[in-house]
A and B are shown apart, each in its own frame.
Chain A
Amino acid sequence: MKVSSPQFKEKSVIALADPRLRQALGQSRKGFVNKRAELVGALPEFEQLRDEARDLKNHVLDNLDHYLERYEAAVTAAGGHVHWARDAEEARSIILNICQRVNAKTITKGKSMVSEEIGLNDALEAKGYTVVETDLGEYIIQLAHEPPSHIIAPAIHKTKEQVSELFEAAHGGPRKTTVAELVTEARLVLRDKYFQADVGITGGNFLVAETGSSIIVTNEGNGDLTQTLARVHIVTSGIERIVPTLEDVALFLRILARSATGQETETYTTLSTGPRRPHDLDGPEEYHVVLVDNGRTKMLGGKFQDMLRCIRCGACMNHCPVYGAIGGHAYGWVYPGPMGSVLTPLFVGLDATYDLPNACTLNGRCESVCPVRIPLPELLRELRHMQHQQGIRPQGERRALGAWRFVAERPGLYQFANRLAARVLKGLGGSTGRIASLPFAGAWTDSRDMPAPEGKTFLELWQARSKP
C-alpha cells in the first residue's frame, strides 16, 4: 500500500472539517468503548488475563524460531504448505504463483491486515484476477476504492447514508436505507461469489504451533465461507502471530473479543488445519500459509519487541482521542492510531513518518486498555528519540529545544526570562486577563485565548515574601 504519511497534517485538517466523518467516528467508537468497559468491569480476572497474555507473548517472542519451526512441521504434517516471505514483494509473488498454478479466476478474501500491508489486492487485480472482499466493511471500502481506516472496522469512517449510496451505485436501485436491508443486500451479492471462488484468502488471528491450525474470528461468518468453499485456501499472517497451544488460544480469545468489539466472544471462531481430508464433508483441496516478516525480525531483541505482542484488537485506536478526531486515513498507511504510529515508522522508515510519533499527547489511554500491555507511549517517545538522534526533526523545533535547554540550565537567566515574560504577557492581556492574539504564538491563539500571567513570577513573589 502506498504511504501517504508525509501528508499527515494536511490530511488531518481535511478530516477535521468533514462532518460526516465526525458523525461516523463518534458513534461507533463510543459503542466500542462503552461495551468494552462494561464487559471488562464484569470480569474480575481481566487484569490478570492481561498479565498472562503479555507474559505468554513475551515467551513466544523470546523463542520465536522454535515455535515457528514447530508450527511449520505441524502444518506440513496436516498436508498444508508453509511459505516464508521476507518482504511484501516476496509475499505477493508467492500468492500470485499459487493463483496462477491453480488457474484461479475469482478470489474471495476475508479481512486480512497483512494482505493490506503487502498491497495484495492491487497486485492480484493487475494480473486480471477478480478480487472480492467478503468482510462487510472491507466490501464497502472496496466499492469506494479506499483503504481501511481501522484495523477491525475498516469502514468505520463511513456513515450509513454513504454506504447506501455506494450500494445503490454498485448493485442498482432501489436504494436501501436501513442497516438490515443493506446487510441483506450485501449477503445476497456475496453469496454467489463464495461458490465461484477458486482461491479464498484469509488472515490469521492466531497460528497454533502445537496443531498447525490457523484461527480466524469474525462476526459475519464470511471468513468461514471464504476458506471452506474455495478450492484453495491461503492464509496470510505475520510471523509473530504464533501461540504455542490451543489452550493458549483460549486465553487470547477471552481478551481479544472484549478489547476489540466489547463482546464476550466474537460470533465465529474458526479453526483450519490443513486441506480437506478424504472423509471431510467440505474444505479446500490445498492449504497454504504465507508467513510474512516484512520488518518484524528487525524488531526482535530490541526496544520495539514489545510491539510484536500486538493482537490487532484496535482498542488503542478506539480509545485514542487523536484518532477519534481525525480517523484512520490521515495516518497514511495500513495501521492507524497508536499501534500504527509505532509500526508504520518501523516498517516504512522514520523519514516519511515524522508526524506519526509526534501527533500524540502521550496521554496513555491506549496503554491503559491494551490487552497485552504494550507500552505504546514509551515506544512513541523512543521513536521521537530516534528522530532526534537522526536529525529528522525540523530545524525550527530543534532551535527552540536548544534555546529552552540553554535557558533552563541557567537558573539566573531562567528567572530573569520568566520575570520579563510575566510582565510582557500581563501587559498584553490588559484588563481581560487573557490574550486573544499573540505574534509568534498563532498556533495557540488562532483557536484559543491565552490566559495572561498575574504579572510577577511565583519565585520572585515567594522570595519577596520571605525577606524579613
Chain B
Amino acid sequence: MAITEQDVQASEDAPSVNYLNNGYGLKSWLLTKDHKRIAVLYIISISIFFALGGLFASLVRFELMTPEGDLMSSDTYNKVFSMHGIIMVFFFLVPSIPATIGNFLVPIMVGAKDLAFPRINLLSWYVYVVAGILGTIAVVGGGVDTGWTFYTPYSSTYSNSNVILAAMAAFMAGFSSILTGLNFVVTIHTMRAPGMTWFRLPLFVWSHYATSIIMLLGTPVIAITLVLLMLERGFGFGFFDPNLGGDPVLFQHLFWFYSHPAVYIMILPSMGVMSEMVAAVARKRVFGYEFVAFSSVAIAILGFLVWGHHMFVSSQSTYAGMVFSIITFLVAVPSAIKTFNWTATLYKGSIVYDTSMFYVYGYLGLFLVGGLTGLFLSSMGLDIHLHDTYFVVAHFHYIMVGGQVMGYLGGMHFWWPKITGKMFPDICGKISALLVFLGFNFTFFPQFILGYMGMPRRYHVYPEEFQILNVASSLGASLLALGYLVPGVYLTWSIFKGPKAPDNPWGAKGLEWETTSPPPTFNFEETPVVTEEAYQYGQIEEH
C-alpha cells in the first residue's frame, strides 16, 4: 500500500515520547516493566540463539555434503545435531512469536496498558537468559549428544556429555514460557478494553490464548520429566533405566506429552500471525472467524491426545497406537479449517501484493506440505517404514521452520513499522520471502525422498547413492541461510536510515494500528472503546 503524505504528517504529529525514547540508559532497558521493551529484549536474545542454532545446522549440512564422515567424528556429529535441536526448539521456536510479537501485541490488541504482571514478564526474560547461559555453557563445555529428545536410558546412564546442564537449561527455559503463558491468560481474561468481547478479539489473541493454555498445562510435565532424568543420572534413582526397575518407554510418554503439544506452541502463534496478515492483505474479514478461533482451541486440546504417534515403533501397545493414530488424523481437521478459511478469505479479496502477501503465500504452501506429510506419519503401517528417517526430519521442518519461521518473519515484517517506527524497503521484503521459500524447499524437499529411500536421521556416513540429494539439500540450505540473513541486514538498516512509519502503513484494522508508531509507553493516550467486530474492512461488492 502506498504511504500518503497525510499518513506521514499524521505520524509526525504523533506524541514525541514513545516507548523507545522514554529512557536511553542500559538500566532503563534491563529493569523495564514495559511489555514492548521486554519484547525487544526477547527479539535480540532469540535472534542470537537462532544464529547459534543456524550455525550448528550449517555444520550438519557441510558434513552431509559427502558420504564419508570427513569433517567431524561421529561423536562430534552427535553433539552438533543435538545442540542444533536443543537450541532451536527450546531457545528459539518455543519463545519466538509469543515472547516477541505476542509480548508486544497482546496487550495492545486487547486495549490494555500492559500485561497483567509486568514484573513477572521481565522475570520470564531473565529466566530465559539464565537458561540460555546454561545452555551455552553446556555447548562450550563439550556439548551434549543425546539429541534434543534426551531419550533414556542413553541420556540417564550412558552418555558422557553435559546432559544435566543441557536438561537444566531446557527446564529453566520451560519456566520462562510458563510465566509468559500465565501473563497472557490473565491479561486476556481480565484486561480487555470496554467493548472488547471474546468474539471481537483478533484471531492473533485467540491463538495466543490457546498457546498459553498449552504452556501452562504441558510445560510442567516436561519440567518434572527432566528433573526425573537428572535424578536418575545424578543419583541413580530408578525411573527409566530397566536395570534400576524403571521403564525407558515411560520417559517417552512423559517427554512427548509435552513435546508434541510444544509443536502447537510453535505453530499456533504463527497461525495467529497469518490470520492478521491474510485479513490485511485481502482487505476482508477472516472467513469463518468463529471457526478459526475455535480451531485454535481444538488444536490445543487435541494436541494433548496424540503424543503416542511418536512411539509407534517403541514397545508401545498396538491398541494404544491405534487410538493415538486415529486422534492424530483428527488434528488435521482444525488445521485444515484454518487453511481453507485463509484461502476463502483471499477469494474475491482486494489483494495487496506486498511483503506480507509473499509471506502468506509462502506459509500456506509450506504448512500445507508439512501438514499433509504428517498424515503419512500418523498411519501406523507407513510410520514403521518412515520412522527415524529423513522423511520425519523434512516433515517437522516444514511445520516448525517452514510454517513457524515463515510466520515469525512475516509477522516481524508486518509489525516492524509498529515496533520500530520505521519502514523497510518493500522490494527487499519480497526478495527475502522468495529466498526463504525457495531455499526452504530446496533444502527439505530432497529430504522427503531421502527418507523414503531409507536414509536414517542422525547419521553422517551414508551410501553414495544418497549424495546427490544431500548435496542438493545443502545447497538449498545456503540459499535459506541467505534468506534469513538478508532481512537482518535491511531491517537493521531501516532502524537507522529507514523512513518514518505512519501509524497504519498497511491500512489494516486492529487496535495496534490506531495507536502511534511506535506506541507510547502505556500504548494509548486514552483507553480505547471497541464498538465493532475484528477485521471490519467493509463489504466487497459481489459481481
Q: Do the two shown chains form a genuine complex with each other? A: no
